[in-house]
A and B are shown apart, each in its own frame.
Chain A
């Protein structure tokens, strides 16, 4: 799999899961800037080997982070992702998922109608 293919796969997965998590609404691509160096904070000389994508979804009239995170986790699991739901921390609902080196984080917040799904491809040198 090339990095471009991995990026396309991740975006499609996140959009599908985002739609499953919020009934009646499609997610939007909030961030998807292309290949970046994952170690840039430590040393900017490394190659751009990963893509990071963020999808947002939500219904402004419904604040249900627990239900939406649970639905996202169920959708990820049904698609073969290995999921993990963290205990709620002061209103932060957080779940993670892994699949063949891909990483996804699902964030929901008690005071926010928006659900964030953020994913990263495995490191693939171009």
Chain B
């Protein structure tokens, strides 16, 4: 059986995405349940990240990967051999092994019960910068699925904050929604890497295959919304250009798309139900157009409103601010209430950045594309690194947070 898996993995490597995930799906369907579970448990490194494999098996495999990594790092910390980065990582792994929370449900007799919500990972790469794909909700039964691709400076240590954001989008979209944080790529760390499209180019084929894999496990009527924010929007547009499969797409705070793209129509794959963009007032990242034209400026783009009377957002960081119109619109798009989506006025960057009769969007674009920004980026990155080192928890704190005898069963098939 293990040899069959090796042969499958070898075969999948060069297949187109749709055929690869179909073959993986067929392979696991052909196995008796006990054998499939045994394979996930004996070969977690191979089954955990495999697109097309049943999510329940992948959750189990990735849980085992997490437990193994946690135990390895715990031993290093205990023996005073861990680096600061390993100490931080152990704190992260401990959190990733905790339940996601609780929810209310009704039992067979209609009585109210509290149910633990397990963590569900479709990918865990605990080494180095780290990668992960976390699912909240039931992929098999969800009516709507939102896939969130975050931007730069996101390593495994940010998983808690990502999970909270996904939770809030799920709440806006309502019951029957599954949300996925897709940090299946090495996001650029620091402004220097963020100026390059290299990470996005490497991520695009991974995201395409992930989207194909999703198509094999979701219910036939479920709709998928792919959301890219900031550098994540660069990832999503590169994947869209390679045919990444989704029903709806939303780009927020885009740093620009490939310079060859000049319209929304050019970007959207066949079968797209909805494509929208958001650019809030004062979004310096979108104005800088460091990676190419801002899709919010395309004549045929649907541009969603970001502000309402309760919450006005400015700049680049607040597209998912609680109770903002952009967050409400994210919920409407994910649950398919497209007629209720509120649209922004078609203002230009010059109009959005006028101060004392002058616009700062044009000079920002010029500066962002000038060589002078390179040394500035490097200096900023150095300061950010110092801040990370200073915030590393103590050895005692880390060890105290690592239960030695926890029952780590995790999700089962």
Residues of chain A touching chain B, judged by Cβ–Cβ distance below 8 Å, are: 25, 28-34, 36-46, 48, 52, 54, 56-61, 84, 89-90, 92, 94, 96, 98, 103, 105, 107, 109, 111-114, 116, 118, 120
Contacts and interface: CB of A to CB of B under 8 A. Distances in A.
Q: How large is the interface on B (under 10, 10 to 19, 20 to 34, 35 or more residues)?
A: 35 or more
A5 B384 CA distance: 28
Contact of A40 (B112, B154, B172): B154
A7 B406 CA distance: 27
Contacts of B316: 42-43
A118 to B, nearest CB: 5
Given A44-B157, A52-B167, A112-B175, 13 more contacts: A32-B101, A37-B158, A38-B321, A41-B162, A41-B165, A42-B150, A42-B151, A42-B230, A44-B151, A44-B152, A58-B112, A103-B323, A113-B106
B357 interface: no
A54 B101 contact: yes
B112 A39 contact: no
A51 B104 CA distance: 21
A32 B317 CA distance: 22
Contact of B187 (A44, A89, A105): A44
Contact of B229 (A29, A42, A58, A112): A42
A42 B319 contact: yes
Contacts of A38: 161, 317-318, 321
A6 to B, nearest CB: 14
B101 A89 contact: no
B153 A30 contact: no
A107 to B, nearest CB: 6
Interface string B220-246: 000000000110100000000000000
Nearest to A58: B104
Nearest to A34: B160
B102 A29 contact: yes
A28 B161 contact: no
A38 B161 CA distance: 7
Contact of B161 (A36, A112, A116): A36
Given A54-B101, A98-B310, A43 B337 contact: no
B100 interface: yes
A116 B171 contact: yes
A38 B384 CA distance: 17
A30 B168 contact: no
A38 B313 CA distance: 13
Contacts of B321: 38
B337 A89 contact: yes
Interface of B: 95, 100-104, 106, 110-112, 114, 117, 148, 150-155, 157-158, 160-165, 167-168, 171-172, 174-175, 187, 229-230, 232, 253, 285, 309-311, 316-323, 328, 332, 337, 340, 384, 387
Contact of B175 (A45, A61, A89, A109): A109
Contact of B150 (A41, A57, A103): A41
A104 B357 CA distance: 38
Contacts of B309: 84
B153 A44 contact: yes
Given A56-B104, A59-B112, A41 B320 contact: yes
Given A41-B320, A54-B101, A84 B310 contact: yes
A28 B187 CA distance: 36
A85 to B, nearest CB: 12
Given A48-B161, A52-B164, A116-B171, A41 B114 contact: no
16 contacts: A28-B102, A28-B104, A28-B114, A33-B160, A38-B318, A40-B150, A40-B154, A41-B162, A41-B320, A42-B319, A43-B152, A43-B316, A46-B317, A56-B104, A61-B110, A90-B337
A120 B171 CA distance: 13
B167 A54 contact: yes
Contacts of A60: 106, 110-112
Contacts of A107: 171-172, 174
